[in-house]
């Protein structure tokens, strides 16, 4: 199918090229013919050839002899048809996407160059499609790498940035700006492809945050050894969610309310504490996070990895910590801006 599609796109452009070459041959032949038959100058012969083929209705440059008239008739039948055929093919290439496709490629190339702090989504299957929709709802910039041309067309039709390539190739990841990326999500169809993708990304960008989708249990440790920071099984998460919904529906509803982008009145976010943050060395109570910003500190993930749930007001905020907070989006954003001052 790919080869047929590529051939279908190539044929109009190739036909237009041949027609254009044939048109040049006829123009040259007409010019030479008038020079030989009528003894005109090259410019007069060329001008007569163009006006004849264009059917603009101007009179002859010079009076024609009988041989010149016969040659003009032949030129009209051969040249006019070729001119219209060439114009039709060129218009077909433009209408069917030849010129439009070039503009689109340049536009996407500029968008790729301008991407900053984005996610690289590898794979646009059922899981990848849901991830892309969620990233769009969260207004997080991202680029999709997908080898299937039909899926790539769906990506482009939705206005997203997509690249038709193999996500495990170094030059592809460099092209989509892995050096400027916020993270990479490996959601290709097979575990083997995800392993190669994660390994390539980790070699190119050692500090990149990488999430990998896993199908089989035995591939989880391979993905972690390849460099994935998080390995997620959709089946395991789905089964756990079903059980939690059956046993604790109210808890599940609260988590969905706090984490879903559809509920814009509430947001659960993590706030990173830099070394120069004004909150470093202060307790949650002294910092006045609840009083000043109206958000609740649900947990603190320490720099060494320990997680403190429902921290006490006397808990000290340290550099490198991650504050998990809950509140209205605008208030959470105000806290983030204050923390990064």
Which residue blocks in the chain are alpha helix, DSSP H?
Answer: 2-38, 42-54, 66-75, 81-95, 98-114, 126-137, 149-157, 170-175, 191-204, 220-226, 234-247, 249-259, 284-287, 329-339
Q: State residue 173's pLDDT score.
A: 93
Note down pLDDT in tens along the chain; length 341 residues: 333 334 444 444 555 667 777 778 888 888 898 888 888 888 888 888 888 777 776 667 778 888 888 888 888 877 777 777 777 776 666 655 555 666 666 777 788 888 889 999 999 988 999 999 989 988 899 999 998 888 988 988 888 888 888 999 999 999 999 999 999 999 998 889 999 999 999 999 999 999 999 988 788 889 999 999 999 988 888 888 888 888 888 877 777 766 665 555 677 788 888 888 888 888 888 888 888 888 888 899 988 888 888 888 888 999 888 898 888 888 888 888 887 66
Report whether 235 contacts 266 (CB < 8 A): no
Report whether 321 contacts 303 (CB < 8 A): yes
φ/ψ region of 291 (left if φ > 0, alpha if ψ in -120 to 50, else beta) reads alpha
Distance, CA of 162 to CA of 151 (rounded, Å): 10
Tokens (6 digits) for 310: 């429902």
Cβ count near 43 (within 10 Å): 10
Q: State residue 289's pLDDT score.
A: 85
Report whether 115 contacts 180 (CB < 8 A): yes
What domains appear along the chain, each with residue ranges and CATH number?
A: 6-96 (1.10.287.70), 100-232 (3.40.50.720), 265-339 (3.30.70.1450)
Distance, CA of 174 to CA of 177 (rounded, Å): 5
Q: State residue 1's pLDDT score.
A: 35
């Amino acid at each position: 199918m790919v080869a047929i599609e590529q051939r279908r796109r190539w044929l109009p452009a190739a036909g237009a090229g041949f027609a254009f070459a044939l048109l040049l041959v006829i123009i040259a032949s007409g010019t030479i013919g008038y020079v030989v038959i009528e003894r005109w100058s090259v410019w007069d012969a060329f001008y007569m050839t163009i006006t004849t083929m264009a059917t603009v209705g101007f009179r002859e440059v010079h009076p024609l002899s009988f041989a010149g008239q016969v040659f003009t008739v032949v030129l009209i039948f051969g040249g006019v048809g070729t001119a219209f055929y060439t114009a039709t093919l060129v218009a077909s290439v433009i209408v069917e996407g030849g010129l439009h496709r070039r503009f689109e490629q340049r536009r996407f190339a500029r968008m790729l160059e301008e991407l900053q702090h984005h996610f690289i989504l590898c794979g646009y299957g059922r899981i990848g499609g849901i991830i892309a929709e969620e990233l769009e709802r969260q207004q997080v910039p991202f680029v999709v790498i997908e080898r299937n041309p039909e899926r790539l067309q769906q990506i482009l039709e939705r206005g997203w940035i997509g690249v038709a390539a193999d996500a495990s190739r170094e030059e592809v990841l460099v092209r989509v700006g892995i050096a400027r990326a916020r993270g990479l999500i490996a959601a290709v169809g097979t575990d083997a492809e995800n392993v190669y993708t994660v390994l390539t990304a980790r070699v190119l960008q050692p500090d990149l945050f990488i999430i990998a989708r896993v199908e089989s249990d035995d591939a989880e440790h391979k993905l972690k050894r390849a460099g994935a920071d998080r390995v997620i099984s959709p089946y395991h998460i789905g089964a756990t969610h079903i059980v939690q919904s059956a046993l604790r529906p109210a808890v599940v509803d609260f988590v969905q309310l706090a984490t879903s982008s559809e509920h814009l009145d509430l947001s659960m976010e993590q706030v990173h504490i830099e070394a120069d943050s004004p909150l470093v060395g202060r307790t949650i109570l002294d910092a006045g996070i609840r009083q000043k910003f109206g958000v609740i500190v649900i947990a603190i993930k320490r720099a060494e990895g320990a997680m403190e749930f429902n921290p006490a007001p006397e808990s000290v905020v340290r550099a490198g910590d991650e504050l998990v907070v809950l509140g209205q989006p605008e208030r959470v954003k105000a806290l983030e801006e204050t923390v990064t001052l």
